[in-house]
């Protein structure tokens, strides 16, 4: 029954083995891009406090990061001095300037992102810069509102959770008796979504040509179907994001990528145990991403991985409601850490405080490009 559904899905979605073969020009672009240093920024995200991560009592939640830290460069203080919303915080990381646009993603960042600078400076194609985000309000985060750069230089942007959400909601709405846990049901709706089109349901694929869009979409959609059917079926948005990120790395080997994890924002539900579980899961997925870098020839020994939470959460003392929220502006919300690991990065602990806006400037230097005006400054310790 399962296999039948899968076959039917592939037929309906118009996917075939032929479509798995990436067009030659895509392969060429990927090969060309792999020549230089690659940068992957991971927002260890959704909001997590020092207390549950690199504070002594938090180490048990992040065994993979603890394992990675001794051979990486650990910045003890990486501060978010901007707006404490997910969108503005992440946009600040990507632009190198503190962003103060709409908190809920209804506006693009006010200044260019590192994706735009990178693509403009190098002439890299759209498959060489990707943003994969669990947070489904991030559809406009890839490119700023400026006229000189903007969308034409933005990244391919995928919102995997939104894609799955549409499928799950469709299944729940149309067949409430069977329930959403019925994977057949979910797949049926996923089929419909994928065959109906992707705009507005999780994909903002760069429009460099309809043919290219389709190829990219079909390649990933096919893999997604395999994944959902497979033994590692996802149970959360971040698992889906990891999977898409890994597929992108394998298929397109981009030089610049943002992987936005977000599930630990489940803390808003008020369950500390679910929050801790999400942290541990994000830790595991980050570890798996590092393993992929190590095992993928396009990335091994030429990739710098930059891992940081985009924001913290309110402290336990004198805050509105502690870990549930992240708006108080106290130190627990703002003071985070950053871990750099990979090609050319020395091992060590850095006391010097750095800021979220320093990430884009650092990524620019790692990629060998001259970015525009940024508040942030390159982290010289990574570059030395």
Partner 1 sequence: MAGGSKLSPALQALVDKGLFDRLPATFSTFFFEQMQDWETLFPAERNYHERLFTLLDRSDPAMVEGLFEPLRRIEQTMGVNEKNWPRRHFTLDQVDFLNRSPRYPEWRKAVADIFARLDPLLEDEITRAGHSRLVVVIAPAELPVGPDRMWLRIRQHGKRIPLEAPEDVGDYLPLLLTGAGRKDAASSIAAKYATKGEAYDAWAVEAGGSLADAGAERVVALSYERLRDYRARLMSEVRHIVETQEVRGPRQLSAKLKDLKIRASEGDVSRDPVLAEFARAILLSGNGTLLVNNTFVEWSTVQAVRRARPSVAIVSFGIRNKIKPFSSLLIYADQDTTNPIPTQMDTLGTYVDLEIFYQYIWQEFEKYAEYRRNTAYLFVGEGMDELLAIAPPDFPLPAATKPTKLAEVFASMKDWMNL
The C-alpha angle 82, 88, 89, rounded to 5 degrees, equals: 60
Per-residue contact string for residues 249-268; x = within reach of partner 1 by CB under 8 A: --------------x--x-x
Question: What are the backbone angles phi and psi of residue 73, rounded to the nearest 5°?
Answer: -105, 115
Q: How many CB atoms lie within 10 A of CB 226?
A: 14
Quick check: 329 binds partner 1 (CB under 8 A)? yes
What is the number of alpha carbons within 13 Å of residue 86 lying toward its C-beta? Answer: 25
Question: What span, in angstroms and rounded, lies between the C-alpha atoms of 158 and 162?
Answer: 9
Tokens of residue 144, six digits:
């700023």
Q: Which is nearer to partner 1, 21 or 81 (CB)?
A: 81
One residue of 236, 241, 260, 298 binding partner 1 per CB under 8 A: 236
Question: What span, in angstroms and rounded, lies between the C-alpha atoms of 272 and 258?
Answer: 27
Question: What span, in angstroms and rounded, lies between the C-alpha atoms of 209 and 182?
Answer: 37
Quick check: 36 binds partner 1 (CB under 8 A)? no
Residue 312's region, left for phi above 0, alpha for psi from -120 to 50, else beta, is beta
Q: Which is nearer to partner 1, 59 or 172 (CB)?
A: 172
One residue of 146, 327, 335, 377 binding partner 1 per CB under 8 A: 327
One residue of 1, 17, 18, 176 binding partner 1 per CB under 8 A: 176
Q: Which is nearer to partner 1, 298 or 328 (CB)?
A: 328
Closest distance between partner 1 and the C-beta of residue 264, in Å? 11
Q: Which is nearer to partner 1, 174 or 207 (CB)?
A: 174
Closest distance between partner 1 and the C-beta of residue 210, in Å? 26
Helix 24-33 / helix 210-229 crossing angle, nearest 10 deg: 80
Quick check: 184 binds partner 1 (CB under 8 A)? no
Q: Which is nearer to partner 1, 83 or 345 (CB)?
A: 83
Question: What span, in angstroms and rounded, lies between the C-alpha atoms of 263 and 192?
Answer: 26
Quick check: 269 binds partner 1 (CB under 8 A)? yes
Q: Which residues of 319-345 are buried (b: 16+ CB within 10 A; e: fewer)?
A: beebbbbbebebebbbbbbbbbbbbeb
Per-residue contact string for residues 102-131; x = within reach of partner 1 by CB under 8 A: xxx-x-------------------------
Q: Which is nearer to partner 1, 131 or 164 (CB)?
A: 164
Strand partners, 130: 156, 257
Q: Which is nearer to partner 1, 57 or 148 (CB)?
A: 57
Per-residue contact string for residues 276-295; x = within reach of partner 1 by CB under 8 A: x-------------------
CA 338 to chain centre: 16
Please give the residues from 76 up to 95 whose contact with partner 1 meets the rule CB under 8 A: 83-85, 88
Q: How far is CA 79 from CA 61, 75, 82, 253, 355, in A?
A: 21, 10, 9, 30, 5
3-state class (DSSP) for residue 1: coil
Stretches 60-68, 166-174, 210-218, 251-259: which one binds partner 1 (CB under 8 A)? 166-174
Q: Which is nearer to partner 1, 19 or 53 (CB)?
A: 53
Question: What span, in angstroms and rounded, lies between the C-alpha atoms of 30 and 254?
Answer: 7
Site size toward partner 1, by CB under 8 A: 48
CA 33 to chain centre: 20
Q: Which is nearer to partner 1, 38 or 136 (CB)?
A: 136
Nearest in space to 107 (alpha carbons), one of 73, 144, 78: 144
Closest distance between partner 1 and the C-beta of residue 19, in Å? 27
Closest distance between partner 1 and the C-beta of residue 231, in Å? 14
Quick check: 270 binds partner 1 (CB under 8 A)? yes
Chain contacts with partner 1 (rule: CB under 8 A) = 83-85, 88, 98, 100-104, 106, 161, 164-165, 168-169, 172-173, 176, 178-182, 186, 235-237, 263, 266, 268-274, 276, 316-318, 321-325, 327, 329
């Amino acid at each position: 029954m399962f296999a039948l559904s899968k076959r039917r899905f592939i037929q309906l979605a118009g996917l075939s083995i032929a479509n798995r073969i990436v067009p030659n020009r895509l392969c060429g672009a990927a090969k060309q891009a792999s020549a230089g240093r690659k940068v992957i920024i991971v927002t260890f995200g959704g909001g997590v406090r020092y207390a549950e991560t690199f504070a002594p009592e938090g180490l048990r939640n992040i065994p993979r990061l603890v394992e990675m830290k001794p051979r990486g460069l650990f910045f003890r203080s990486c501060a978010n001095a901007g707006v404490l919303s997910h969108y503005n915080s992440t946009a600040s990381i990507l632009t190198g300037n503190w962003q103060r646009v709409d908190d809920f993603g209804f506006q693009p960042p006010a200044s260019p992102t590192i994706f735009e600078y990178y693509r403009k400076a190098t002439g890299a194609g759209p498959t060489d810069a990707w943003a994969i985000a669990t947070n489904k309000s991030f559809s406009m985060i890839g490119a700023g509102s400026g006229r000189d750069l903007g969308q034409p230089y933005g990244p391919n942007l995928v919102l995997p959770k939104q894609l799955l959400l549409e499928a799950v909601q469709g299944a729940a709405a149309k067949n409430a008796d069977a329930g959403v846990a019925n994977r057949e049901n979910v797949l049926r709706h996923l089929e419909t979504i994928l065959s109906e089109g992707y705009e507005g349901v999780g994909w903002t694929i760069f429009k460099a040509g309809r043919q290219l869009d389709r190829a990219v979409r079909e390649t990933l959609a096919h893999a997604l179907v395999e994944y959902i059917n497979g033994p590692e079926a996802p149970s959360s948005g971040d698992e889906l994001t990891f999977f898409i990120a890994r597929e992108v790395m394998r298929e397109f080997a981009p030089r610049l990528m943002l992987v936005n994890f977000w599930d630990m924002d489940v803390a808003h539900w008020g369950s500390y145990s679910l929050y801790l579980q999400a942290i541990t899961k994000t830790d595991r997925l980050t570890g798996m991403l590092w393993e992929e870098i190590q095992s993928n020839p396009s990335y091994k020994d030429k990739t710098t991985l930059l891992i940081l939470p985009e924001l913290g959460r309110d402290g336990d003392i004198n805050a509105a409601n502690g870990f549930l929220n992240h708006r108080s502006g106290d130190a627990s919300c703002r003071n985070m850490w950053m871990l750099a690991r990979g090609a050319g990065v020395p091992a060590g602990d850095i006391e010097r405080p750095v800021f979220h806006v320093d990430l884009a400037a650092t990524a620019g230097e790692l990629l060998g490009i001259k970015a525009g005006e940024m508040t942030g400054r390159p982290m010289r310790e990574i570059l030395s």
